């Protein structure tokens, strides 16, 4: 939580510095637009504050006028009572008093009539002012809830794909609290106006107007409260059973409405996509769930220093999951669930009671780590291409290739934790791989669509894995073992074998490049140029995470002295020497530990090691105990031209079917009876 907070602070500080310096960065115009919009919101709040204060003054004036009217009305009633008592007086006195009372009564009744009309007009004017205030309030609330808050939620969703931090909720909470305060003030004014009308009924349209205003203001505050019950920290979107996870929900107006005076409890439940649809349609789901979550109840806590009301679920665990019937080719890692958070609380001394609910971003439930790869693909596609206001959890089955490029680049930079993203050339390579195309122009793919099936359901041509599985393997090996080399620009990566040869053909011997394997998920191979009588280009069998956990890439490259330049022309040691593991000098004997001498692992390529052990092209020797990459044969530069290797496919990789054929053939030969000339004769 502290790390996220620091990231948010740094992000906003950088934005403010760019704004102050009039930075020409691409984000500059976006920051200016945001600042302008925030300025408009604050100006509207000031306008609402002034209007509300003016309404308060008008209401007080109305109340004072009405109170004086009631006093005068009571005076008129007193005069009426005096009239009824005149019959008890003598004729002379009665006549004198009657004339005086009639004059007073006529004058007072005329005043009451005029004042009643004035009061009615005051009431109408105040009601009309409240109508205008509520229109402006609703517009302001729409801007904050339907624009700003929805944008924050969208940023939160993209942050799940590696996008920039969604930012703090502090500004949004300030706005929502201002809304709550102004709405509540206007609601109280409307209720006081209703009370004044009940005290002194005057026929007219005001009662109906106030009733309508009361309903409108209640709808506005209800929308505010239910919309500001949000998930501040989402649960993990790939959710493994029997594994602890956390989430945080927050009520942005809780402090201002004093909800914390009677702290509400929040309950978390996992529901299916179909149950989520029924919930939004207000259809009865009979409180069904699709699984059991442990530690799924939490009381909201008020933090005085920050003014936040939130519930922190720290130790939830999904004990079991109930899956629905899947459609067609859909796998378990394509099935989406969501965590439903719900609570109930009252405001204004139980004046209004709210039942609030909010859904998490879709989650994919897995039971084993091997499902993580495909589950992540489902989450990535949903986060990237979900549309606002969608039915849970509908996403397009096809998207434009540039849209997918943006999502892949965002995920790549976040996973590898690098500012070096995917270049135009990298994206062309990926397009060629996905569409089985030869076009090298990115523009040719601008209108091409990619389906979900192409992305992570159908295998790539000639391979036993999907496009996403291959791409995820690249990110995994970079993240775990090769991040500094990628950031240094030492790994070219996204080129195929033929492209590597084309890049190396005019380079001096000993020039090499590192590229991601086409044949093995998460593999990286070395391609280098060394012109010999046998061939010009050489390729090592791909290294994987397993290999790098034994010996690092830098050390493996350091072992191969005939690799001299990193493509295009950087000296190898200049690029990799800072990552070499220090080795003992030959003159310094290795110290024995418990009687054992520790061996050293060294990368060796047989074809480049002489019989004496020197690194040079020549006779092959065995390799040491390190995983031993074999040299892959090339279609045009076979090492043994007179005896081509039939076990390798045209790409120079092992063909499993051919390998099994060879194995069966060898087994058959071993079963045959041996020729008699090879059988030793018995000693006589």
pLDDT class of 677 with cuts at 50, 70, 90:
very low
State the burial class of residue 575 (Cβ atoms within 10 Å of its Cβ: 0-12, 13-18, 19+).
middle
- pLDDT at residue 504 tops 50: yes
Considering the chain, what percentage of its residues have pLDDT values greater than 70?
A: 80
- Tell me how far apart the alpha carbons of residues 103 and 110 are, in angstroms, rounded to a whole number: 11
Token pair for 415: 């996973």
Neighbours of 680 (CB within 10 A): 5
pLDDT class of 396 with cuts at 50, 70, 90:
very high
Q: Please enumerate, as own/partner, the contacts of 77-83 that have beta carbons within 8 Å and a separation of 24 or more.
A: 79/104, 79/105, 79/108, 80/105
Length of the chain: 684
263 — phi, psi (to 5°)?
-55, 120
**What is the dihedral sign for C-alpha 658, 662, 665, 671?**
negative
**Once rounded to an integer, what is the mean pLDDT over residues 555-573?**
93
Neighbours of 354 (CB within 10 A): 19
DSSP letter assigned to residue 388: T
Token pair for 422: 């995917």
User: Among residues 141, 138, 165, 137, which one has the least CA distance to residue 152?
Assistant: 165
Where is 559: in which H helix or E strand?
helix 553-559
pLDDT class of 289 with cuts at 50, 70, 90:
confident
User: Among residues 525, 519, 610, 526, which one has the least CA distance to residue 565?
Assistant: 526
**Highest mean pLDDT out of 154-163, 581-590, 595-604:** 154-163
Omega of the bond prior to 568 within 30 degrees of 0, cis?
Answer: yes
- Tell me how far apart the alpha carbons of residues 679 and 311 are, in angstroms, rounded to a whole number: 84
- pLDDT at residue 158 tops 70: yes
pLDDT class of 616 with cuts at 50, 70, 90:
very low
State the burial class of residue 2 (Cβ atoms within 10 Å of its Cβ: 0-12, 13-18, 19+).
exposed
pLDDT class of 527 with cuts at 50, 70, 90:
very high
- pLDDT at residue 618 tops 80: no
- Looking at residue 635, what is its pLDDT? 37
- pLDDT at residue 591 tops 70: no
Tens-place pLDDT, residues 77-131: 888 888 777 766 667 666 767 778 888 889 999 999 999 999 999 999 999 999 9
- pLDDT at residue 666 tops 90: no
pLDDT class of 641 with cuts at 50, 70, 90:
very low
Neighbours of 599 (CB within 10 A): 9
Omega of the bond prior to 393 within 30 degrees of 0, cis?
Answer: yes
- Looking at residue 647, what is its pLDDT? 45
Do residues 558 and 485 touch, judged by C-beta distance below 8 A?
no
- Tell me how far apart the alpha carbons of residues 503 and 516 are, in angstroms, rounded to a whole number: 15
pLDDT class of 594 with cuts at 50, 70, 90:
confident
Q: Which residue has the higher pLDDT, 236 or 88?
A: 236
pLDDT class of 148 with cuts at 50, 70, 90:
very high
- Looking at residue 35, what is its pLDDT? 81
Token pair for 441: 């122009």
Strand, helix or coil for residue 488: coil
- pLDDT at residue 27 tops 80: no
- Looking at residue 415, what is its pLDDT? 94
User: Which residues on adjacent β-strands are paired with residue 346?
Assistant: 353
- Looking at residue 31, what is its pLDDT? 63
User: Among residues 400, 401, 422, 402, which one has the least CA distance to residue 411?
Assistant: 422
User: Among residues 292, 288, 293, which one has the least CA distance to residue 276?
Assistant: 288
Tens-place pLDDT, residues 329-371: 678 999 999 999 999 998 877 788 999 999 999 999 999 999 9
Tens-place pLDDT, residues 301-334: 999 888 999 999 999 999 999 988 766 667 899 9
Strand, helix or coil for residue 233: strand
Neighbours of 268 (CB within 10 A): 21
- Looking at residue 350, what is its pLDDT? 79
Token pair for 613: 């052990």
Do the bridges between strand 337-347 and strand 524-529 make them parallel or antiparallel, or are there none, so unpaired?
unpaired
Token pair for 550: 């034994």
- Tell me how far apart the alpha carbons of residues 292 and 458 are, in angstroms, rounded to a whole number: 33
- pLDDT at residue 589 tops 80: no
pLDDT class of 285 with cuts at 50, 70, 90:
low
Token pair for 367: 């039971």
State the burial class of residue 326 (Cβ atoms within 10 Å of its Cβ: 0-12, 13-18, 19+).
exposed
Do residues 241 and 321 touch, judged by C-beta distance below 8 A?
yes
- Tell me how far apart the alpha carbons of residues 144 and 389 are, in angstroms, rounded to a whole number: 16
**What is the dihedral sign for C-alpha 88, 92, 93, 97?**
positive
Q: Which residue has the higher pLDDT, 664 or 244?
A: 244
pTM (2 d.p.): 0.79
Which ranges in 228-347 belong to alpha helices (H)? 273-280
Token pair for 327: 């459609």
């Amino acid at each position: 939580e502290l790390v996220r907070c620091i990231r948010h602070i740094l992000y906003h500080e950088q934005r403010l510095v760019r704004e102050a310096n009039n930075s020409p960065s691409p984000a500059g115009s976006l920051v200016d637009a945001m600042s302008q919009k925030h300025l408009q919101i604050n100006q509207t709040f000031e306008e609402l504050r002034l209007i509300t204060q003016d309404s308060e003054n008008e209401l007080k004036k109305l109340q004072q006028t009405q109170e004086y009217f009631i006093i005068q009305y009571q005076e008129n009633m007193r005069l009426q009572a005096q009239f009824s008592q005149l019959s008890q007086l003598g004729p002379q006195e009665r006549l004198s008093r009657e004339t005086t009372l009639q004059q007073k009564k006529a004058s007072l009744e005329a005043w009451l009539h005029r004042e009643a009309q004035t009061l009615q007009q005051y009431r109408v004017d105040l009601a009309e002012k409240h109508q205008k205030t509520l229109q402006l309030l609703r517009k302001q609330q729409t801007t904050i809830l339907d624009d700003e808050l929805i944008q924050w939620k969208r940023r939160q969703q993209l942050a799940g794909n590696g996008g920039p931090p969604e930012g703090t909720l502090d500004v949004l909470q300030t706005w929502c609290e201002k809304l709550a305060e102004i709405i509540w003030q206007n609601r109280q004014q409307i209720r006081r106006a209703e009370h004044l009308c009940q005290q002194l009924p005057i026929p007219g349209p005001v009662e109906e107007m106030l009733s309508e205003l009361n309903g409108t203001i209640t709808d506005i505050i209800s929308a505010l409260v239910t919309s500001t019950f949000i998930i501040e920290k989402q649960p993990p979107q790939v959710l493994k059973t029997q594994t602890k996870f956390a989430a945080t929900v927050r009520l942005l107006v809780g402090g201002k409405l004093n909800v914390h005076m009677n702290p509400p409890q929040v309950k978390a439940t996992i529901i299916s996509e179909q149950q989520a649809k029924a919930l939004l349609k207000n259809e009865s789901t009979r409180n069904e769930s699709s699984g059991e979550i442990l530690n799924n109840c939490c009381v909201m806590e008020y933090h005085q220093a920050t003014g936040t009301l939130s519930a922190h679920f720290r130790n939830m665990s999904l004990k079991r999951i109930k899956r629905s019937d899947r459609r067609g080719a859909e796998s378990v890692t394509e099935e989406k669930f969501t965590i439903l958070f719900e609570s109930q609380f009252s405001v204004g001394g139980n004046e209004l009671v709210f039942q609030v609910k909010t859904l998490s971003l879709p989650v994919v439930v897995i039971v084993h780590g091997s499902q993580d790869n495909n589950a992540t693909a489902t989450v990535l596609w949903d986060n990237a291409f979900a549309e606002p206001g969608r039915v849970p959890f509908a996403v397009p089955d096809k998207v434009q290739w540039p849209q997918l490029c943006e999502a892949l680049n965002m995920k790549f930079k976040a996973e590898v934790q690098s500012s070096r993203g995917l270049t135009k050339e990298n994206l062309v390579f990926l397009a060629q791989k996905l569409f089985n195309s030869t076009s090298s122009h990115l523009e040719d793919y601008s209108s091409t669509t990619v389906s979900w099936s192409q992305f992570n359901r159908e295998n790539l041509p000639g391979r036993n894995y999907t496009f996403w599985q291959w791409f995820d393997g690249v990110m995994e090996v970079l993240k775990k073992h090769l991040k500094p080399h990628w950031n240094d620009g030492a790994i070219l990566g996204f080129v195929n074998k033929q492209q590597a040869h084309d890049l190396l053909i005019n380079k001096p011997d000993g020039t090499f490049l590192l590229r991601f394997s086409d044949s093995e998920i998460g593999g990286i191979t070395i391609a280098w140029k060394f012109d010999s009588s046998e061939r010009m280009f050489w390729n090592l069998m791909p290294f994987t995470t397993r290999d790098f956990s034994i010996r690092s890439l830098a050390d493996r490259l350091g072992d191969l002295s005939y690799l001299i330049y990193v493509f295009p022309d950087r000296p190898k040691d200049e690029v990799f020497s800072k990552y070499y593991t220090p080795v003992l000098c030959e003159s310094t004997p290795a110290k024995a530990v418990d009687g054992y001498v520790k061996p050293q692992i060294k990368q060796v390529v047989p074809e480049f090691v002489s019989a004496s052990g020197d690194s040079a092209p020549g006779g092959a020797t065995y390799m040491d105990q390190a995983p031993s990459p074999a040299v892959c044969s090339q279609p045009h530069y076979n090492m043994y031209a007179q005896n081509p290797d039939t076990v390798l496919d045209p790409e120079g990789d092992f063909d499993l079917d051919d390998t099994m054929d060879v194995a069966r053939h060898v087994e058959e030969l071993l079963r045959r009876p041996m020729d008699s000339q090879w059988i030793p004769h018995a000693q006589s």
